[in-house]
Amino acid sequence: MRADLNTPWRIGSVEIPTRLVLAPMAGVSVQAFRRQGRRYGAGLVCSEMVSCAGLSHKNERTLGYLRIGRDEHPLAVQIFGSEPRVMAEAARMVEAAGADLVDINFGCPVRKVTKTGAGAGMLDEPGQAAAVVEAVAEAIDVPVCVKMRRGIANGSRKALEVGPRLVAAGAASLTLHPRSAQQMYTGIADHELTAELVELVDVPVVASGDITSRERAESVLLDTGCAAVMVGRAAQGNPWAVGEIAGLVDAHPSREEVVAELLLFMRDTVLEMGEQRATGFLKKFYGWYLGRGRFPKPFANELVRLATIDEVEDRLLAAAPGAGDVLARLEADLPALDDVVLDLPVSIYAGG
């Protein structure tokens, strides 16, 4: 028996066309990344986590995360914080920006987040966590989702205690990454815990963690009874992993395809955040795209040392001359850029 990843499912009123979700990842899940994920078969894409305090204070950089394109839908925008009133205010702004879902982060394991009581730290305060979900659910009309870890400590089963309370408070879906916050990304995701959570709640559960191939995705869907699987780190600089899981492409692209996708990603990122910000932001992506044996390691290191995006483009095209034709075909198939944003000053996008 095989699980069908290409059947639609729902979170509340929102229909999602495939069982594949592209994870919210800090410093990664920008608009260009999300658009790429949609092209490669992700049924739902998610923004990186957005600070509710930053939204509340109208911080320009934070408000810039609410840039949403028509080709991203359905889209979840993820917010984090620990104060119900402030989270509710942030959720209203996210809804006004055009998000289809508001996702609450109860899973971030990073110390600077958990020490404030936010992220995975909320799992140690079930009452407060439920209050946050209730406040957000009452403030908006779109469905509310929650992404969480299994708990703070290794072996914790806190998610099984907290999960049902969050659903009772108004969560329309739960995503579980069954590692502890202490584990960060080490060890193995324990999807037996995911199966237990599925049995406890009557809303869709999304399984996150170690979804790296179509075979693994199908196995987790069948073994846990979850509604969908979430792909995270496997997709960094590797949209072909998403496409392979979705059954759309081979997981082994040619050098020309790799360079063409990287160039398209670079250009979209420059449009999104301006060349100055994009130049630094993109450096980590060079190794992700060009690694995995696709190019010699020194080549990515060489790109990192180049001063401008134009220099990087020229060097990439010199290394894979046929990539220009592939890029032209990719760009010809793209929908016209048509962004929907809050009424914000252009300076947020550094002129982009």
Q: 136: number of CA atoms within 13 Å, CB side?
A: 38
Annotated catalytic residue within 46, 52, 108, 226: 108
Please give the Cα distance from 226 to 206 (Å, whole number): 6
| Region for 347 from its dihedrals, namely left if φ exceeds 0, alpha if ψ lies in -120 to 50, beta otherwise | alpha
Pairing of strands 14-16, 20-22: unpaired
The answer to whether 153 touches 121, Cβ cutoff 8 Å, is no
**Residues 181-188: contacts with CB under 8 Å, at least 24 apart:** 181/109, 181/114, 181/119, 181/120, 181/121, 181/149, 181/151, 181/152, 181/153, 182/109, 182/152, 182/153, 182/154, 183/109, 183/154, 184/109, 185/233
The answer to whether 311 touches 35, Cβ cutoff 8 Å, is no
CB atoms within 10 A of CB 112: 9
Q: Per the structure block, which two tokens stand in for 125?
A: 């305060």
Please give the Cα distance from 194 to 178 (Å, whole number): 7
| Alpha-helical segments (H) within 16-104 | 31-39, 52-56, 60-63, 84-97
Q: 214: number of CA atoms within 13 Å, CB side?
A: 16
Pairing of strands 9-11, 173-180: unpaired
Q: Per the structure block, which two tokens stand in for 272?
A: 């999104």
Residue 226 appears among annotated catalytic residues: no
Residues 6 or more apart whose Cβ sits within 8 Å of residue 143:
11, 12, 13, 14, 101, 102, 172, 173
| Region for 224 from its dihedrals, namely left if φ exceeds 0, alpha if ψ lies in -120 to 50, beta otherwise | alpha
Catalytic residue ranges: 108
